[in-house]
Amino acid sequence: MTRQNFTRSIIAAAVLVVAGGAYLHSRNADIGIENANAAVPATVPVAAPAATVSNAAPAVAVATDFSSIVERAGPAVVNISVTGKAKQSAVADQDDDSADADPNDPFSQFFKRFGPQLQIPRHPQIMRGEGSGFIISSDGLILTNAHVVDGAQEVTVKLTDRREFKAKVLGSDKQSDIAVIRIDAKNLPIVQIGNPALTRVGEPVLAIGSPYGFENTATAGIVSAKSRTLPDDTYVPFIQTDVAVNPGNSGGPLFNIKGEVIGINSQIYSQTGGYQGLSFAIPIDVATKVEQQLVAHGKVTRSHLGVAVQEVNQALAESFGLKSAAGALVSSIDRGSPADKGGMQVGDVILRFDGKAINQSADLPGLVADTAPGTSSSIEVMRAGQPKTLTIKLTEATPLKIAGKDNGANSQGRLGLALRELSPDEQQQVGIHGGLVVEDATGPSAVAGIQRGDVILSLNGKPVNSVEQLRQLVSKAGKNVALLVQRDKDKIFVPLNLG
């Protein structure tokens, strides 16, 4: 079981509450298998617009008019068609755990790329797909999503003036889902780039793309939230909107009211594969940093810290003696990594990185990744209630892993755990020293997702080696405690409320 599945099982109950019991379905890249006998879907009628809701001054309340932006920026938005050989052995872009994923686990099918799911073909077939993109330089440089061109043997770009060009993929980065392609053309219209940092929740935004192949379609809405971290994504602080985006919108631009691009539409929350009121865009500043490296080097270089971190909620904040629920809680450290060599410890709460505040765990990966390998960074942590500053030299490697956000299901009562000590052979097998294995979990522990076979490593950052030691720690603990739990090779802090 991977860390991701561990996290999913820990918080599945909480997600079901949030989702109203509905399962969250995933859709991969905007591709489909060519089939001469495929049915043509019927046209879906468009619902009538809702009545305008006005507040204090209904006489001056008017809908946002994006027509001038569409007229000015629309020609810089392109339709992208791809063809290639379909994969024969797996569903596109799934991880190694997908084959045995629990169909009832709402996280097994969550946020994914726009488009129909690629089925496993029996024989080699032609893959065809469509997406969107936009021109960022007049000599033919275009930004789109990596999943739009992934595996493509031929990429065709169509402009609004009906000209078509064969495109070359200069590079793609799956982690950020950004790709750069180029067409042989001059004096092309370009978009204006904005600053996502200035974007405010609630402001109107516009998307232009090719949903279901309907080219140059404009849809509008508002920014619903910023800096969203999604399962399976550890690097991108997504812009969440309620703009209607559908399969084919992938890679298209998200404009602000000034007509500036602030994001690239990339993912949707969907129960059906179509628009459900939640869409996610990659901030354009993240995309342009990737684009510059892809154009210059054909690949993206990022720094590596070597830790897994998780969100600090109120229960964890109280457990670790923090004044507020902020920072990134270190749940595990890779052996031999920069963090390991620099003296970081499990249970440290990272508060600042090179002077920049870490308000939530999602803030850390981007800051680390954007720092040049070889840089010695100053990292401020809270350790056992005391502030401490570490100087850690970053290296080039895989990026940070983010443990899922833990909603910390709380209830009154004791731990509710039946535990025993690990034998020396079991400790060697698991790769730890000490710890207590869970034989049964009830009450708050069961609600929080702790299962039989999990290993309790520490309570509030203090290692536990015996049941009696854990009992004494619990008796001296306050209202909230944080258990460090290991399942297989994955570790995560789980907060419990002891009342």
Would you say 454 and 314 are in contact if contact means Cβ atoms under 8 Å apart?
A: no
- pLDDT given at position 398: 53
Residue 336 DSSP SS3: coil
Nearest Cα to 326, choosing from 340, 315, 313?
Answer: 313
Model confidence band, residue 40 (pLDDT cutoffs 50, 70, 90):
very low
Confidence of residue 496 (pLDDT cuts 50, 70, 90): confident
Residues whose CB falls within 8 Å of the CB of residue 143, separated by 6 or more in sequence, listed in order? 133, 134, 136, 178, 179, 180, 251, 264, 287, 291
Q: Is 304 a catalytic site residue?
A: no
Q: Could you read off the pLDDT of 283-301 as tens digits, one per residue?
A: 999 999 999 999 988 888 8
Q: What's the whole-number mean pLDDT along residues 245-266?
A: 96
Task: Write the DSSP string, 241-271.
Answer: E-----TT-TT-EEE-TTSEEEEEEEEEEBS
Q: Would you give the DSSP letter of residue 239?
A: E
Examine the residue annotation and report whether 147 is marked as an active-site residue of this protein. Answer: yes
pLDDT tens-digit readout, 216-234: 999 999 999 998 887 666 6
Pairing of β 307-311 and β 401-402: parallel
Q: What percentage of residues in the chain have a pLDDT greater than 90?
A: 42
Query: What pLDDT sits at residue 232?
Result: 62
Q: What pLDDT, in 10s, does the model give residues 62-99?
A: 478 999 999 999 999 999 999 876 554 333 333 344 44
Identified catalytic residue from 147, 172, 173, 490: 147
Q: What is the pLDDT of residue 86?
A: 55
Question: Is residue 485 pLDDT above 70, yes or no?
Answer: yes
Q: Is 467 exposed, middle or buried (0-12, 13-18, 19+ CB in 10 A)?
A: middle
- On the question of pLDDT at 211 being above 70, the answer is yes
Q: Is 222 exposed, middle or buried (0-12, 13-18, 19+ CB in 10 A)?
A: middle
What's the pLDDT tens digit per position in 454-484?
899 999 888 898 888 888 888 888 778 889 9
Express each pLDDT in 135-181 by its tens digit. 999 999 999 999 999 888 899 999 999 999 999 999 999 889 999 99
Greater confidence (244 vs 105) lies with: 244
Distance (Å, rounded) from C-alpha 472 to C-alpha 308? 29
Six token digits for residue 342: 């620099």
Mean pLDDT is lowest, of 3-17, 123-137, 219-233, for 3-17
Residue 421, beta-bridge partner list:
436
Question: What does the pLDDT average to over 184-193?
Answer: 96
- Indicate the pTM of the whole model: 0.63
At 361, the pLDDT band (50, 70, 90 cuts) reads confident
Nearest CA-CA partner of 253 in 169, 160, 135: 135
Known catalytic residue at 433: no
Classify residue 286 as exposed, middle or buried by CB count within 10 Å of its CB (0-12, 13-18, 19+).
Answer: buried
Q: Give the CA distances from residue 307 to residues 17, 376, 403, 409, 430, in Å, rounded to whole numbers and listed in that order.
A: 30, 16, 10, 25, 19
Non-local CB neighbours of 434 within 8 Å, separated by 6+ positions: 422, 427, 457, 463, 464, 465
Q: Please pick, among 177, 285, 406, 490, the residue that the annotation labels catalytic.
A: 177
Lowest mean pLDDT among 143-152, 249-258, 342-351, 482-491: 482-491
Backbone angles phi, psi at 130, to 5 degrees: -135, 150
As beta bridge partners, residue 455 has: 437, 486
Catalytic residue among 250, 337, 361, 458: 250
